[in-house]
Amino acid sequence: MADVQGLVNELATSLRKRKVEGSRETARLTAELLRTVISAQKLPSPTNQAAALIAAVRGVGQRLIAANPVELAIGNIVRRIFHIIREEELSLQVEGLSLSTQGRDRDRDEEDDKAFLSSAATSQRLLRSPSLADLLGSRAAMAPASSNQEIQGKGKFEQSLPSSWTLKHNVIEAVNDLIEDIITCHEQIADLAVELIHQNEVVLTLGQSRTVKKFLCAAKKKRSFQVFVAEGAPKYLGHVLAKALAAKGLQTTMITDSSVFAMISRVNVVIVGVHAVMANGGIIAPVGTNMVALAAKKHAVPFVVVAGTHKLCPLYPNNPEVLLNDMRCPSELLSFGEFSDFVDFSIGSGASLLNIVNPAFDYVPPELVSLFVTEIGGHNPSYIYRLISDFYCADDLPRQQKPAS
């Protein structure tokens, strides 16, 4: 456990000092660390195993969130792993109940039926609405007999293992799948580019986004189109994206942020990356995105957001736990030498006559977003609630966030 604590301290320090940047990298490192925590956790036998895992993950998650509250991807991954643990525990309970009832006679009386259906795990499975993953997973029933035999053989192998090892094994496998999804989300989103970008269109984007870059480069293989890149002041990350797109052979034009409204009438679609997607369908994106969204709404231009599901935050922007903005260093806007000219030393305290505010993010309401593109497909902003119910458990959300029954 000493080695695990060292890893936790190392990642928390990196997050606090902003050495780890980007939602994707933060989500990957968080998931890998929590996988190590779960692997090193000693579970009680045979009960309260899921509760012990959740408590261990929650303790580490709270430290990481406190290190960088602005990076909402940390809380997203922690809650995703909570959901994984609860689902695996429920799956093992249902599997154990089904095995215990295989030897019963078919004509058992109604009292036995009621006793079986009264089980908390079975009732929860029967009463809850099926998730999209469950519906897609139902195709496994159509697998050939050989596949079913392999599945049965795997089930017998897991039955012979201790229950504590089985739960940890299943959770770690699910976390591995989550990490793989985070790593490959850019490529999966890029596969949908040809369906959204057509021949000879004009695309507008803002700032620098790795997802947008791969998305546009994937469309370049089968489409010929032009890209306008707003420079994204004050950090001017749009310059980096424009050079990268031009190096890939795309027709790229750099414009200033103030020229967006003048150029939007020539644009066919706006494609942007985001920092986080909120539960109401709104987005937290680099500063200047709200201006672009308003211009697109004024000229009826589709505003498309490309983001991995690890950026889907089950919180609302009015939640007190959500810190929407990160105030950057004023030196990005004004050098210290120029700033010192506005300090009034006659007051005695050296008070400044000039206040500099440099926010990092904008909030864009859901009514300005046309479409979300994730690795599992495209979705309207009104569909975000369904994705939240698939990826997160209501028990892990703040009380004011739980859906009404």
Domains and CATH numbers, the chain: 2-184 (no CATH), 191-325+360-401 (3.40.50.10470)
Structural contact between residues 205 and 241, judged by C-beta atoms closer than 8 angstroms: yes
**Residue at 34: amino acid letter:** L
Please, what's the b/e burial string for 330-349 (b: 16 or more CB within 10 A of its CB; e: otherwise)? beeeeeeeeeeeeeeeeeee
Residues in the chain: 405
Entry pTM: 0.80
Please, what's the b/e burial string for 110-140 (b: 16 or more CB within 10 A of its CB; e: otherwise)? eeeeeeeeeeebbeebeeeeeeeeeeeeeee
Query: Pairing relation of β-strands 226-230 and 251-255?
Result: parallel
Continuous H helices in 101-235? 110-117, 120-127, 132-137, 145-159, 163-190, 193-196, 210-220
pLDDT in tens, the chain (405 residues): 668 999 999 999 999 998 998 899 999 999 999 999 999 988 766 667 888 999 999 999 999 999 998 999 999 999 999 999 999 988 888 877 766 666 555 555 555 555 554 544 444 444 445 555 555 444 444 444 444 444 344 444 444 444 556 888 999 999 999 999 999 999 999 999 999 999 999 999 998 899 999 999 999 999 999 999 999 888 888 999 999 999 999 999 999 999 999 999 999 999 999 999 999 999 999 999 999 999 999 999 999 999 999 999 998 888 766 767 788 888 788 777 776 666 665 555 556 677 888 888 899 999 999 999 999 999 999 999 899 999 999 888 876 544 433
- The helix, strand and coil proportions of the chain, stated in percent and rounded to the nearest 5, come to 55, 10, 30
Helix (H) or strand (E) holding 273: strand 269-273
